[in-house]
C-alpha cells in the first residue's frame, strides 16, 4: 500500500471517532431543540415566524465563518463566567463546533416539523379532540406520529449537512475527518484530501440509509426493520467511538498534553517534532493542527494547547500591537518578558531559523523589469501582487506598502500552495512568501530586497503555555531544539513535504529533522 | 335527556350567526334527527353538545347538568361522536382506533381487548383488527367510526352525516345497524342528515333547521301530516315525489 494511504488509514480511528461524536451530538441536540421549538412555532405565528427567520439566516452564514465566530463568542462568555462564578471552560474545539453545527442542524428539522404539523387534516385533529384527548395527548398520540415521516426526512437532511460541515471544525481545534482535507490541501497531499472527502461522504450515506430504514420500519410498523436500523446505528456509532472509549479507560499514567500547529507544512512538521520528543519524555501527546494564526495564540494562553511555534514578527504586531522595529534581539527579549508577564507563557527562545514574510518574483521577470528590491516596485504600479489570506490585513503589509508606496498595486489572494503556481504561471507578478520555504529556490524565484528594513524579523519561537511554563520535564524535552534548527534544515524538511515528487508526510519529515538535531 | 335552552352561536372569523336561539329537548332513549340545508347550523349545534364549540349564549344540559360545568375532556369521553367523513386516525389500526377512548380512560388491556372484539362483532368487522383505515371501504370505515364512538359505553351518541360517503345499499344497511344498536343499548341519539327519507325511516322525532333556527320538531307522522310551513312541506314532498315517480315508472 502507498505510504500516504497507510498513514491515512492509521489516522482513521481517531479522526472518524471524533467526527462521529461531534456530528451525532450536534444532531441529537438539534433534534432535541428543533422538534419542541417546531411544535411551539406551529401553534403560534408570533413565535413561528421570527424563529424560522433567524434559523434561515444562520443557514446562509458560511460554515467556516459560523464555526470561527463561536470561538471569540465562547471566549467572551467564558471570561464572564470566570469573573462571576470563578469557572471557565474550553472555548476551542468541541464546544464551539457543537454549537455551530447544532444551529446548522436546526433549519431542516424545524421547517419540516412546522410544515408537517400545520399540514395535518383538521378533521383528524377534531376527531382527536372529540374522542376525549387533551391537547397533550393529541400532540403525542396523533399529531407527532402523523408528522413523524416528514420530521424524519428533515433529520435525514440535517444528518447529511452536519456530517459534511463537521469537516470544517478542524480549524477551530476540533479533530474531525476535515483534518485529512485541511492538512492534505496545505501539503498538496491529494490522497489525504480525497480520503477525507470519501470518508465523510460514506459516513453521511450510511447514517442516512439507516435513518431511512428506521423511517420505513416506523411507517410499516415492521419491528424487524426498526430493530435492524437501530442495531445498525448503534453499531456505526459504537464502532466509531470504541477507540475513544478504550483510550479514555486506559490507565492514564502519562500526563496528557496538546501541541498546536497553524495551517502550513512547517507547523505540522514542528508539531510532530515536538510531539515525538515529548512522547519519548513520557507524555501522552495530542496534536491540534490547522489552527488559525491568532486562534493558536489564544488557545495557548487559555490552556487549550500547551505548546506551539510562533514567529517573533507575528507576535510583535498581532499580540503586542507594536509597529516599531527595535531590532532582532531586542524584539525577542521584549516578547519573552511581555508574554511571561501578560499571559504566563514561557518562551524557549529562537529555534534557530527565521520564517520571514518576504516578497519574491520569477528571476527572468525581475531581470526584464530591472527589479531588485521592494523600492523598485514603486515604478511599476501595473504589477499584480499575490498573497495568502492573511498578508494584506497584517501590519507587515501596511508597513511595506507605506515604506515603498505599494498601495496602488492590484492584489490577489491564494491558498499558500497555489501562490507559487500563480507566480510561476504569471498569474501574479510578485508574491508574498516565507523565507524558510524550500520552494523559493526550487521554482527559481528571487527575493526582493528590503533596503528600508520595513519587514520585521520572524524568528521561530517555541512557546509553552502557562500550565507547563514551570514543568521541568516538559521544558527539558523541548529545550534541545533551541537554536538547533538552521534555515537550511528547515527549508529541506519543508521541501520534503511541499514538493510534487517523492512527497513525504509531515511525520516523516519530522522524523528526518529529529535525526539531525542532538537529543 | 339533552336540553338546548335558547342556544346561540356566531363565528367571529366569518361573521356568521350559525345558530340562533335554539330551544329543543331530547328525551332519554330517543333517536332525534336534525335535518336542514347546508350551512343551517347542524354541525355547530352538535359540536356544542360536547364542547368542541362553545356557545355565545344559552345553555345545553345533559341529565340536567350544564355542559359548561363539566371538564370538556371528560365530557367528550362520555359522549360518542361519529364525524362527518369518519375522522379515523390513519396511523392507527382498526383495533387501536376503536380503543382510543377506553385507552384515554385508563382501562386495563384485557378489558379493552374484549371490548374491541365485542364492538367489531357488533358492526360485523370481526377479523379486521389489524387493518389500517386506508385498507377499508367507505362503509367499513364508517362502521369502525361507529364502534369507536360506542367503545366507552357512552349514554349519548352524536352522528354527523354518518352515511354521506356510502352507496345507497350500504347506506341502508348501516343505517339499519345504527338504529338497531341505538335500540339495543338504550342510547340517546342525535343524528344530523341531509336526507329526508333517511330521517323519516330512522327518527323518533325530526327537528328541521334553517338558517340557524329551529323551524319545526315532531314525529315523522306529525311532519308529514302537518308541516309547519312551505319549507318543511317541500322537504317532506321530496321523498313522496320520488316514490310516486318510481311507482309510475314501474307501472309503465
Ligand atoms: N369554524 C368556523 N368558522 C367560521 N364559520 C364557520 C365555522 N364553522 C362553520 N361556520 C359557518 O357557520 C355556518 C353553519 O355551519 P355548520 O357547519 O354548522 O353547518 P351545517 O348545517 O353542518 O352544514 P353542512 O350540512 O354543509 O355540514 C355556515 O355558514 C358556516 O360557513
Ligand atoms: Mg355539517
How many Å lie between the centroid of ligand 1 and the Cα of residue B42?
8
Q: Can you point out the beta strands (E) in B109-229? A: 156-160, 188-193, 205-210, 213-218
The grid coordinates listed for A93 are: 474545539
- Local confidence pLDDT in tens for the 252 residues of chain B: 899 999 999 998 888 999 999 999 999 999 999 999 999 999 999 999 999 999 999 999 999 999 999 999 999 999 999 988 768 999 999 999 999 999 999 999 999 999 999 999 988 899 999 999 999 988 899 889 999 999 999 999 999 998 877 778 878 888 888 999 999 999 999 999 988 888 998 999 999 999 999 999 999 999 989 999 999 998 888 888 888 888 888 887
Q: How far apart are CA A107 and CA A34, in angstroms?
A: 8
Closest Cα of chain A to B82: distance in Å? 9
Q: Which residue of A has its CA nearest to B150?
A: A131
Question: What DSSP letter does each residue of A164-212 carry, written as one string?
Answer: HHGGGGGGGT--STHHHHHHHHHTT-HHHHHHHHHHHHHHHHHHHHHHH
Q: Answer yes or no: are the C-beta atoms of A496 and A508 closer than 8 Å.
A: yes
Across the interface, do A133 and B73 touch by the CB < 8 Å criterion? yes
3-state helix, strand, coil in chain A (%, to 5): 65, 10, 25
pLDDT of residue A222: 73
Which residues make beta-bridge pairs with A386? A412, A431
Q: How many other C-beta atoms lie within 10 A of the C-beta of residue B44?
A: 22
Residues A305/A463, Cβ–Cβ less than 8 Å: no
ipTM of the complex: 0.90
How confident is the model over B43-81, as pLDDT tens digits? Answer: 999 999 999 999 999 999 999 999 999 999 999 999 999
Percent of chain A scoring above 70 in pLDDT: 97
Question: How far is the C-alpha of B185 from the C-alpha of A353, rounded, in Å?
Answer: 99
Per-residue pLDDT at A1: 56
Minimum-distance CB partner of A124 among B50, B74, B87: B87
pLDDT range class, residue A343, cuts 50, 70, 90: very high
A126 reaches B (C-beta below 8 A): yes
Q: Is the pLDDT of residue A252 over 70?
A: no
pLDDT digits (tens, 9 = 90+) for A186-200: 777 888 899 999 999
Contact: A127, B90; criterion CB under 8 Å? no
CB A131 to CB B148 under 8 A?
yes
Residue count of chain B, please give it: 252
Q: For residue A493, what is its C-alpha cell? A: 524538511
Per DSSP, the residues of B38-88 read: TTSSHHHHHHHHTTSS--SEEEEEETTEEGGGS-HHHHHHTEEEEBTTB--
pLDDT of residue A248: 63
3-state secondary structure of A328: helix
Nearest C-alpha of chain B: how many angstroms from A142?
7
Residue A190 CA to residue A184 CA, distance in Å, equals: 6
- Interface contact flag, B84 A123, Cβ < 8 Å: yes
Question: Which residues of chain B are at the A interface, by a Cβ-Cβ cutoff of 8 Å?
Answer: 50, 52, 73-74, 76-77, 81, 83-85, 87-91, 100-101, 104-105, 148
Interchain CB contact of A135 with B (< 8 Å): no
A349-367 core/surface letters (b: 16 or more CB in 10 A; e: else): bbbbbbbbbbbbbbeebbe
**CA count, 13 A, side-chain hemisphere, A397:** 17
CB burial of residue A207 (10 Å; 0-12, 13-18, 19+): buried
Q: Which atom of ligand 1 is nearest to the CA of B42?
A: 21
| A137 close to B (CB below 8 A) | yes
pLDDT at A339 over 90: yes
State whether residue A123 sits within 8 Å of chain B by CB. Answer: yes
Nearest to A133 among B91, B104, B148 (CB): B104
Segment among A48-57, A63-72, A367-376, A402-411 with least mean pLDDT: A63-72
Q: State percent of chain A over pLDDT 90.
A: 42
Between B52, B89, B105, which is nearest A129 by CB? Answer: B52
Residue A228 banded pLDDT, cuts 50, 70, 90: confident
Q: Nearest 10 degrees: CA dihedral of A331, A257, A238, A67?
A: -20
Q: Is the pLDDT of residue A226 over 90?
A: no
**Measuring from atom 18 of ligand 1, which residue has the nearest CA?**
B41
Centroid of chain to Cα B229? 25
Q: How far is A124 from chain B (nearest CA, A)?
A: 5
**Lowest-pLDDT range of A39-53, A353-367, A465-479:** A39-53
Residue A239, pLDDT score:
82
Q: Which of B77, B83, B148 sits opposite A126 (nearest CB)?
A: B83
A142 interfaces chain B, CB cutoff of 8 Å: yes
Kindly tell me the sign of the dihedral angle through the C-alpha atoms of A218, A219, A225, A230: negative
To test ligand 1's pocket by mutation, which of B4, B15, B18 has the most ligand atoms within 8 angstroms of CB?
A: B18
Q: Cβ–Cβ of B73/A132 closer than 8 Å?
A: yes
Report CB contact under 8 Å: A130, B81.
Answer: yes
CB atoms within 10 A of CB A2: 8
**Average pLDDT in the A423-450 region?**
88
Angle among Cα A461, A467, A470 to the nearest 5 degrees reads: 75
Q: Which atom of ligand 1 is nearest to the CA of B53?
A: 1
| CA of B76 vs chain A CAs: smallest distance (Å) | 5
Given a cut of 70, whether residue A57 has pLDDT beyond it is yes
pLDDT band (50, 70, 90) for residue A342: very high
User: How many angstroms separate the alpha carbon of residue A60 from the centre of ligand 1?
Assistant: 45
Can you give the pLDDT at residue A294? 76
Distance CA A120, CA A118 (A): 6
All structural domains of chain A, each given as residue ranges with its CATH number in brackets, are: 3-249 (1.10.3720.10), 256-355+457-515 (3.40.190.10), 357-447 (3.40.190.120)
**Residue from the list A123, A132, A145 with its beta carbon closest to the beta carbon of B87:** A123
Contact A281, A475 (CB under 8 A): no
B158: alpha, beta or left? (left if phi > 0; alpha if psi -120 to 50):
beta
CA of A198 to the centre of ligand 1 (A): 59
* Best CA proximity match to A356, nearest among A478, A507, A506, A487: A487
Tell me the mean pLDDT in the region A249-267.
79
B37 Cα nearest atom in ligand 1: 25
Residue B214 gets which letter from DSSP? E
In three-state secondary structure terms, B204 is coil
Chain B nearest CA to A49, separation (Å): 22
Q: What residues does each domain of chain B span?
A: 1-79+156-216, 88-153
Residue numbers in B near A120 (CB within 8 A): none
Q: Would you call A81 an interface residue with chain B, using a CB distance cutoff of 8 Å?
A: no
Element (H, E) at B35: strand B31-35
Which residue's alpha carbon is nearest to atom 16 within ligand 1? B41
Substitution candidate for ligand 1 out of B4, B20, B22, B42 with most atoms within 8 A of CB: B42
| Average pLDDT over chain A, rounded to an integer | 87
Distance B49 CA to ligand 1 centre (A): 15
The answer, for A120 touching chain B at a CB cutoff of 8 Å, is no
| Better-scored residue on pLDDT, A74 or B69 | B69
Q: Please state, in angstroms and rounded to a whole number, the distance separating the CA atoms of residues B196 and B220.
A: 10
Is residue A344 a contact partner of residue A306, using CB atoms and an 8 Å limit?
no
Q: Does this model's pTM top 0.80? A: no
Looking at per-residue pLDDT, the higher value among A183 and A22 belongs to: A22
Contacts of B83 in chain A (CB under 8 A): 123, 126-127, 130
The answer to whether the CB atoms of B87 and A146 lie below 8 A apart is no
HSE, side-chain direction, 13 A CA sphere, residue B90? 15
pLDDT digits (tens, 9 = 90+) for A148-176: 999 999 999 999 999 999 999 888 878 89
pLDDT score for B29 = 94
Nearest to A130 among B76, B85, B91 (CB): B76
Which string of b and e fits A57-71 if b means at least 16 CB within 10 Å? Answer: eebeeebeebbbebb
Write down the pLDDT at residue A249: 62
A311, three cell numbers: 514567529
Q: Any residues with Cβ below 6 Å from ligand 1, and which?
A: B 11, 13-14, 16, 18, 36, 38-44
Interface probe, candidates A119, A123, A132, chain B, greatest B C-beta count within 10 A: A132
Does A146 reach chain B within 8 Å, measured CB to CB?
yes
User: Distance between CA atoms of A410 and A377, rounded to whole angstroms?
Assistant: 12
- pLDDT at position A247 is 66
- Give residue A274's Cα distance to chain centre: 20
For residue B50, list chain A residues with Cβ-Cβ distance below 8 A.
130
Superfamily of domain B1-79+156-216: P-loop containing nucleotide triphosphate hydrolases (3.40.50.300)
As beta bridge partners, residue A346 has A464
Contacts of B229 (CB under 8 A, 6+ apart): B215, B216
Rounded Cα distance, A191 and A4, in Å: 7
Q: Is the dihedral of CA B64, B69, B75, B78 positive or negative?
A: negative
Report how far Cα A510 is from the mean position of its chain's Cα atoms: 21
CA A103 to chain centre: 18
8 Å CB contact of B88 and A127: yes
Q: What is the pLDDT of residue A398?
A: 85
Distance CA A213, CA A195 (A): 27
Report yes or no: A130 at the B interface, CB cutoff 8 Å.
yes
State the distance from the centre of ligand 2 to the C-alpha of A184, rounded, in angstroms.
68
Supply the pLDDT for residue A150. Answer: 93
Compute the nearest-CA separation of B9 from chain A (Å). 18
Ligand 1 centroid, distance to B44 Cα (angstroms) = 6
CA dihedral of residues B62, B63, B64, B68 (deg, nearest 10): -30
pLDDT range class, residue A345, cuts 50, 70, 90 = very high
| pLDDT above 80 for A251 | no
Count other Cβ atoms within 10 Å, centred on residue A453: 11
Does A113 or A438 have the greater pLDDT score?
Answer: A113
**For position B150, what pLDDT does the model report?**
93
Residue among A258, A272, A267, A317 nearest A292 (CA) = A267
C-alpha cell read off for B190: 342525535
Residue A114's pLDDT band (cuts 50, 70, 90): very high
Amino acid at each position: 500500500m502507498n505510504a500516504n494511504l497507510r498513514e491515512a488509514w492509521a489516522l482513521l480511528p481517531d479522526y472518524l471517532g471524533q467526527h462521529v461524536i461531534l456530528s451525532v451530538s450536534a444532531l441529537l441536540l438539534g433534534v432535541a431543540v428543533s422538534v419542541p421549538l417546531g411544535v411551539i412555532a406551529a401553534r403560534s405565528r408570533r413565535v413561528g415566524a421570527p424563529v424560522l427567520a433567524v434559523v434561515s439566516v444562520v443557514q446562509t452564514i458560511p460554515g467556516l465563518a459560523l464555526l470561527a465566530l463561536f470561538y471569540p463568542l465562547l471566549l467572551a462568555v467564558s471570561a464572564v463566567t470566570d469573573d462571576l462564578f470563578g469557572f471557565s471552560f474550553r472555548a476551542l474545539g468541541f464546544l464551539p463546533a457543537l454549537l455551530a453545527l447544532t444551529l446548522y442542524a436546526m433549519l431542516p428539522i424545524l421547517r419540516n416539523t412546522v410544515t408537517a404539523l400545520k399540514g395535518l387534516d383538521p378533521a383528524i385533529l377534531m376527531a382527536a379532540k372529540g374522542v376525549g384527548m387533551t391537547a397533550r395527548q393529541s400532540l403525542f398520540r396523533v399529531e407527532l406520529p402523523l408528522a413523524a415521516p416528514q420530521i424524519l426526512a428533515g433529520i435525514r437532511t440535517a444528518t447529511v449537512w452536519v456530517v459534511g460541515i463537521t469537516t470544517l471544525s478542524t480549524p477551530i481545534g476540533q479533530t474531525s475527518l476535515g483534518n485529512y482535507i485541511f492538512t492534505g490541501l496545505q501539503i498538496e497531499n491529494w490522497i489525504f484530501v480525497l480520503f477525507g472527502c470519501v470518508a465523510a461522504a460514506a459516513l453521511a450515506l450510511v447514517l442516512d440509509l439507516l435513518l431511512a430504514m428506521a423511517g420505513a420500519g416506523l411507517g410499516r410498523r415492521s419491528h424487524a426493520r426498526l430493530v435492524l436500523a437501530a442495531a445498525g446505528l448503534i453499531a456505526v456509532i459504537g464502532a466509531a467511538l470504541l477507540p475513544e472509549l478504550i483510550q479514555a479507560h486506559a490507565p492514564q499514567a502519562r500526563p496528557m498534553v496538546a501541541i498546536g500547529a497553524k495551517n502550513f507544512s512547517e507547523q505540522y512538521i514542528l508539531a510532530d517534532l515536538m510531539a515525538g520528543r515529548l512522547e519519548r519524555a513520557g507524555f501522552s501527546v495530542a496534536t491540534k493542527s490547522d489552527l488559525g494564526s491568532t486562534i493558536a495564540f489564544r488557545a495557548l494562553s487559555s490552556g487549550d494547547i500547551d505548546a506551539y511555534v510562533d514567529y517573533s514578527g507575528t507576535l510583535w504586531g498581532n499580540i503586542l500591537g507594536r509597529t516599531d522595529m527595535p531590532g532582532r534581539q531586542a524584539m525577542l527579549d521584549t516578547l519573552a518578558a511581555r508574554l511571561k508577564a501578560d499571559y504566563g507563557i514561557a518562551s524557549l527562545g529562537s529555534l534557530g531559523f527565521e520564517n520571514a514574510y518576504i516578497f519574491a518574483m520569477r528571476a527572468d521577470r525581475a531581470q526584464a523589469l530591472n527589479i531588485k528590491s521592494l523600492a523598485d516596485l514603486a515604478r511599476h504600479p501595473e504589477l499584480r501582487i499575490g498573497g495568502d489570506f492573511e498578508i494584506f490585513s497584517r501590519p507587515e503589509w501596511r508597513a511595506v506598502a507605506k515604506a515603498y508606496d505599494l498601495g496602488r498595486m492590484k492584489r490577489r489572494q491564494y491558498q499558500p500552495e497555489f501562490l507559487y503556481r500563480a507566480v510561476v504561471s504569471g498569474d501574479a507578478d510578485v508574491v508574498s512568501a516565507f523565507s524558510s520555504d524550500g520552494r523559493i529556490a526550487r521554482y527559481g524565484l528571487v527575493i526582493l530586497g528590503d533596503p528600508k528594513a520595513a519587514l520585521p524579523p520572524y524568528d521561530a519561537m517555541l512557546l509553552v503555555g502557562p500550565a507547563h511554563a514551570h514543568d521541568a520535564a516538559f521544558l527539558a524535552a523541548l529545550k534541545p531544539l533551541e537554536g538547533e534548527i538552521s534555515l537550511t534544515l528547515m527549508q529541506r524538511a519543508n521541501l520534503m513535504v511541499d514538493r510534487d515528487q517523492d512527497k513525504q508526510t509531515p511525520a516523516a519529515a519530522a522524523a528526518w529533522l529529529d535525526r539531525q538535531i542532538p537529543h | 335527556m339533552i336540553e338546548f335552552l335558547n342556544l346561540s352561536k356566531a363565528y367571529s372569523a366569518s361573521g356568521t350567526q350559525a345558530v340562533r336561539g335554539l330551544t329543543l329537548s331530547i328525551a332519554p332513549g330517543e333517536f332525534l334527527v336534525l335535518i336542514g340545508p347546508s350551512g343551517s347550523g347542524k354541525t355547530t349545534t352538535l359540536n356544542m353538545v360536547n364542547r368542541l364549540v362553545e356557545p355565545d349564549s344559552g345553555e345545553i344540559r345533559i341529565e340536567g347538568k350544564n355542559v359548561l360545568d363539566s371538564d370538556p375532556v371528560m365530557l367528550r369521553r362520555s359522549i360518542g361522536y361519529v364525524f362527518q367523513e369518519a375522522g379515523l386516525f390513519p396511523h392507527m389500526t382498526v383495533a387501536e382506533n376503536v380503543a382510543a377512548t377506553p385507552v384515554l380512560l385508563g382501562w386495563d388491556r384485557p378489558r379493552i381487548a374484549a371490548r374491541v372484539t365485542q364492538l367489531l362483532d357488533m358492526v360485523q368487522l370481526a377479523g379486521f383488527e389489524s387493518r389500517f383505515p386506508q385498507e377499508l371501504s367507505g362503509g367499513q370505515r364508517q362502521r369502525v367510526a361507529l364502534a369507536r364512538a360506542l367503545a366507552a359505553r357512552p349514554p349519548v351518541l352524536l352522528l354527523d352525516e354518518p352515511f354521506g360517503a356510502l352507496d345507497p345499499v350500504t347506506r341502508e344497511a348501516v343505517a339499519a345497524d345504527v338504529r338497531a344498536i341505538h335500540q339495543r343499548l338504550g342510547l340517546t341519539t342525535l343524528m344530523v342528515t341531509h336526507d329526508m327519507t333517511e330521517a323519516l325511516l330512522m327518527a323518533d322525532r325530526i327537528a328541521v333547521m334553517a338558517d340557524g333556527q329551529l323551524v319545526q320538531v315532531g314525529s315523522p307522522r306529525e311532519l308529514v301530516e302537518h308541516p309547519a310551513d312551505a319549507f318543511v312541506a317541500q322537504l317532506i314532498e321530496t321523498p313522496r315525489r320520488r316514490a310516486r315517480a318510481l311507482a309510475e315508472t314501474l307501472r309503465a
